[in-house]
Structures are given as C-alpha cells and as structure tokens.
A and B are shown apart, each in its own frame.
Chain A
Amino acid sequence: MPTGLDSLKHIVVLMMENRSFDHMLGSLRVVDSRIDGVTDQLSNPDTTGALVKPQPLADFQGQLDPDPDHHFPAVDLQIFGGDTSPSRVANMQGFVKSYFNQERDVGHSQKIMYYFAQNQLPVLTTLALEFAVFNRWFASIPGPTICNRAFAHYGTSFGRVDMNPIYVNEPFKNIYDRLINANPKHTAKLYYYDMTSSTMEVANLLQNEPELFGTYQQFLNDCSTGNLPDYSFIEPNYSDHDSDSGEEVANDQHPDHNVQAGELFIASVYNAIKQNANLWQSTALLVVYDEHGGIYDHVKPPACTPDQFTASANDTGTGQPFAFDRLGVRVPAILISPWIPKGTVVDGRVFDHASIPATITKFFLGDYSPRSPRETSADVFIEPNGPGVDPTRNLLSLAAMRNDCPDFDV
C-alpha cells in the first residue's frame, strides 16, 4: 500500500524572517500541553531587576521598533544573560536587557517578551495544530540572517557569523547544484517574491547562477500546471514596494513589517500546493523561520557537532571565538502534508537549518559527499524508507491521505 513517503515527489521550504517560537507559537501550550510554549513560570529581568513575564500582547506592527538586535553579541547577551565567564551556562535571561540597550526605555524593553495570542495568527497556529510542529528547531547559529540562511543552502556558513557576503570557496556545494548535477538529474529552484525583493543569496547563487531563480508568480504557475521542481525554496517579500500589479506589502514578518501580511503569504503558499490535487498528495511543505530576531524564547539552545570552521574573537564581536558548537535560538518550524497525522508534535529530536540540505540530499540523492560536519550530523525531517530505519521517525506516517485538511480563505 503506498504511503506518504512512497507518494512524495516534491519538497518545498518556505523560510520566513526573525520571529521566535514562543513569540509565534507559544500560545499553543494551553491548547496542547505537548507543545513547549509559554507558561506563567517564565520571565526575564529588566534593567531595574523586576521580573517581566511573557504576555499575549504582541502587535502586528509598530511595536518592535527599533528592530531588536539579533547580531552575534546581542544574541550572546540574550542567551547567557550577560555572563561572559568561561564556565557560563545558557539561561535565556538577557532578552529584556538586550532590547533596553537600543532605546534605553524600560517600558519599551519589556515588549520583547510579548507573544501573539492564538487567534491573531490563524494560519500559523492552524498549521501547527493540524500538521507537525517541531518543539526543537533552532537557528543554526546564534546570530543574524545571512549566516543562518547559508546553512539552509550549503549546510554551513563557512565560518561566518555576520551579515557580510559569504563567498564560497570550499568544496561544500549548495543543495541546488547537488540536485541538478546529479545522475539521474533532479530539479531545484529558488523562488524569490519578485525582482524588487530578490534573494538574500546574492554573492554566489544570484551572481553566478541566476537561472536557478524564479519569481513567486512562477511558483504559483508551476503549482497549477504541475511543473513544480523536486525541491523548491521560497523567499518572502523583504520590502514594501510598488509593482506593476500595485503596492506590495512586505510579507517576511521581519520587524517592523506587518505580521498579518506574512500570514497571508504562508496561506498563499499552502493553498497553491493544496489546490492541485496531484501536488497536494505528493508534496511536503516546511514552513520555518531563519532566526529569532532578538525576540524572547525560553528554550536553551543545545550544543551541536562543531562545524570545521571557527569565527575569530574579532568576527564574533564578543572577544571570544566561536566554534559553531552550539545552536541559535529556537524558531517556529512546521511540516505540512496530508500524510501527517493531525496534531503531530515532534519532540525529543533536535533540528536546525542544516537539516534542510541534509534531508533533501538524503531523500533525493542518498549518500553524498563532501558535506560539512554540521550537515552530516543533522537530523532529517523526512527519512526515506529503508532497512534499519526506525519507522517512528517517519512523520508522513498515515496509511491513507487525510481528507480533512483545512483551507485558507485569502
């Protein structure tokens, strides 16, 4: 009998921007206690020493302004609470202090603890409750966007923890080239929203292989015509701008862009796949965020297999080098497929963005080298059937496809 894995032909990854797990999905703990969200035991001290609890008071826009600092030194403060000693332990107590550094306003700094109520995010929370939500998906490094997104494309950031261009000169190929140069050949595409939003992968992929890219309109066309590649990576709209079809509101959810616009975008991606019945039964969609954006989360990032690179003390900005041996802050991650049982909570397994090329490679190519140590040790969110594979690891486990998956009215 065909299962979800037997039917699976396409994997789609949509990577949004700069929101933590507790901020977006923390409200769901009261709905399903298995989801490791917010409790009233959690807090962070502000600069007066008062304990600030997380509250469901997040606004769609205009609240997290200025954009909370999410560069390496600020995230270090957020995770370790200001402790810089060699024997320090993560305590997730530095978020309010970190945000205070930007405006020097006690009241404003407390807003970094705010999270969204369930009814404010009907798309993300519905997807989390209907499909598979990951309790332990972390940013790949405790730092900003460019290096975290690099892990999704290359399985490493080549020793970088900053926002400067990463020029690849190591043997680790990006996932797209691995697929299109394989024998037999596979297909892969990055879809940016439009040319005005473009991609964050400029230095290597856009500059050298622009043919890898399509627009979001092309993604919609490819879904409706059944021409979706084996692997698709979607980037949201990074800016408010005018287009031929009118005003385009940024939908990446990066502060201070409108969070509801991002909800619409996620729903649009989901609908595009679901509206083609053949595609719906043969596609798995991962919605994930690149990093936490400086916003509070309570789960301490775990240690991980060190990458073979080291960022110098100068590069980290903290006075200490970084060996890529611990992950960044937790982010929302949801896997969507009609073959996933409703209410799946993935717990007890740790994922980061290296899991993306690890999964795509394992599923479509099998063994492949060379790959970074972080990628080869990363857990995979889709595991092909095979001898010795623990069947409980298969998230697409239903014997028959669901016919009760929700639709979004956009």
Chain B
Amino acid sequence: MTVIHVPRPDVKSAMDSDRPVNTLLKAQIQHLRDAERNLPLRHRTDIYVNAIKTEGEAAEYIRQVTEAIREAHEAAAAKRGRGIAIAAAAADRPRRKGASASGEKKKSTVKRGRKT
C-alpha cells in the first residue's frame, strides 16, 4: 500500500490574522450581522461590523455570533422542555376531590388581609 507524504506549510509564514478580510468573509460577516439582528438583545455582540478589517477580527465576530445563535436556540429548547415537563407533571398530579378537570383553581372565598 502506497503511503503518500503530505508536506505541511510553515505555520508562521502561512498564517496571517492581520490579512485584510476577503470578499467571502465579508459576505459571511454580512449574513451573520443580519442573523444577529434577529437575536434577543442579551445574545448580541458589542462588535461594530463596519470596523472589521482583518481576518482575525472577522474570525472573532464570526465565532461570537455563531455561538450566540446556538445558545439562543438552546435556551429556547430548554424553556420548551421545562414547559413540557411542567405540563406533564401537572397532568400526572392526582386531582383533589372537587378540583376541576382543567386544573383551574377555584376562586377562594377566604378573605385575605392582615391579622390585627
């Protein structure tokens, strides 16, 4: 079986995070900026995309927004899961005599007020 050696590039000369952003990354940033605008405020970055000039700066923005999109979806899924769990727990709880089938509380006839 033939083994083909694959030369590695010299990382020091190949890597340049100060390289100006290429058109592909500019497009990706634009797409992520549009997506970021749809995120709840707490998930948004504080990066001004018009100031992104280098590949390194682009990479940081791309990372933050990609993570934020995932986190926003995970948060929504968790909330959905809690909602389902609560509904399931309520359905499983044995009903007290006189309790409505819908689980609605009966209006209390006890007057609440401070003890004097």
Contacts and interface: CB of A to CB of B under 8 A. Distances in A.
A241 B22 contact: no
Interface size range on A against B: 35 or more
Contacts, number: 146
Interface in A203-220: 203, 206-207, 210-211
A255 B25 CA distance: 12
A126 interface: yes
Contact of B23 (A67, A198, A409): A67
A42 to B, nearest CB: 28
B63 A195 contact: yes
A406 B4 contact: yes
Given A239-B58, A249-B15, A407 B9 contact: no
A260 B67 CA distance: 29
A145 to B, nearest CB: 6
B62 A210 contact: no
A267 interface: yes
A410 interface: yes
Interface in B45-97: 55-56, 58-60, 62-63, 65-67, 69-70, 73
A-B CB proximity, top 7 nearest = A241-B59, A202-B31, A163-B27, A258-B14, A196-B63, A260-B9, A198-B66
Given A206-B35, A210-B70, 5 more contacts: A18-B24, A122-B4, A146-B27, A241-B17, A410-B8
Interface of A: 17-18, 60-61, 67, 71, 122-123, 126, 144-146, 163-165, 195-200, 202-203, 206-207, 210-211, 238-242, 247, 249-250, 254-256, 258, 260-261, 263-264, 267, 403-410
28 contacts: A17-B24, A61-B9, A67-B23, A122-B5, A122-B7, A163-B24, A196-B59, A198-B66, A200-B27, A202-B28, A202-B31, A203-B31, A203-B35, A207-B38, A210-B70, A211-B73, A239-B59, A240-B59, A254-B24, A256-B19, A256-B22, A258-B14, A264-B9, A406-B2, A407-B2, A409-B3, A410-B6, A410-B8
Interface of B: 1-9, 11, 13-17, 19, 22-28, 30-32, 34-35, 38, 55-56, 58-60, 62-63, 65-67, 69-70, 73
